Structure 1
């Protein structure tokens, strides 16, 4: 009976130690993030695109058209031009799109990416409980309207989700850098 108590206590101690190993942001990280948000001068460079994993996306993966390491729900963007730039109340972007369209595209099929160039409409910025920030806004790309959900952590990592009435949702994750 004594051995069982010691074993259980050891397991509980290990689980507690592993669970409390989350690193807290430093004061320098928090100050850098707050300055970045206050200035609204930053660029997000994504490393991964996260399209909705549909049957059609899985068929593309199964066909061998995608590079190794990519899946129907995670596509590496390393080496591909992509950005979302915030300058004051304006947003500019070039984000490659992977997924299904729900409408016809322009003749010639040149509308492959999500390109914003204009004001962020209905912008809300909230501080999150993990000391990060959450941006929610509307933006236009050509004839399409997008609802953008952007979260930035104190470690200057970002997660984005873009919703449109014309395309399946897609997410992006990457790094935030200050823009001059």
Structure 2
């Protein structure tokens, strides 16, 4: 009988411990909250840029982009994008074209989704380059990390990993 009582007591302690630890997961520290608010200000200023260190093609391994020109620059309601592309192009593209993903113009159908609980901000918008339709999905984190996915009407999807920073004055 004592073994059963001891077992119940230990089971109760384990349940209380697990429940109390699980509740702290949703709490956001003051420093995390400040970093998230700083990210919100940066996104709302519409003056930031993303430089990627990695390209992740749909097929194949990741590609190191350090030292290779690539950027996503937000300035007001416009964006300037140059991303190297590694993947399969189904159609379009002529001889002598760079082959990268290039877009400069307004952010069509711009959507900004703030998620304070998960500590990220998602940005979605569309653009077109010639006959190619592009959809961009960005996810920004308070620690400066950025994830970008690009869907195209003429190419396989590709993702990028990099960092987000305020836009430099000369750009």
- From 137, 143, 160, the counterpart of 1:155: 143
Matched, 1:114 2:120: no
Q: Which residue of 1 aligns with 2:133?
A: 145
Query: What's the secondary structure of 1:115's corresponding residue?
Result: strand
Structure 1 unmatched runs, 5+: 58-70
1:88, distance to aligned residue in structure 2 (A)? 1.3
Matched, 1:81 2:69: yes
Q: Which residue of 2 aligns with 1:127?
A: 114
Describe the superposition over 1:13-71 as per-residue Cα deviations: whole angstroms up to 9, x where unpaired. 8xx79xx6xx9552431232011011011000001101002xxx4xxxxxxxxxxxxx2
- From 43, 66, 69, the counterpart of 1:37: 43
Q: Give the distance between the partners of 2:148 and 2:88, measured in 1 at CA.
A: 18
Q: Give the distance between the partners of 2:145 and 2:86, measured in 1 at CA.
A: 21
Q: Which residue of 1 aligns with 2:54?
A: 48
Q: Give the distance between the partners of 2:50 and 2:75, measured in 1 at CA.
A: 12
Q: Give the distance between the partners of 2:109 and 2:72, measured in 1 at CA.
A: 17
Comparing 40-49 and 110-119, the one that deviates more: 110-119
Matched, 1:99 2:87: yes
Structure 2 unmatched runs, 5+: none
Contact 1:97 1:113 in 2 (8 A): yes
Query: Which is greater in Rg?
Result: 2
Q: Which residue of 2 aligns with 1:178?
A: 166
Task: Name the count of aligned residue pairs.
Answer: 156
After superposition, where does 1:11-22 map in structure 2 within 5 Å? none
Q: Give the distance between the partners of 2:131 and 2:98, measured in 1 at CA.
A: 10
Q: Give the distance between the partners of 2:42 and 2:48, measured in 1 at CA.
A: 7
Contact 1:158 1:175 in 2 (8 A): yes
Matched, 1:28 2:16: no
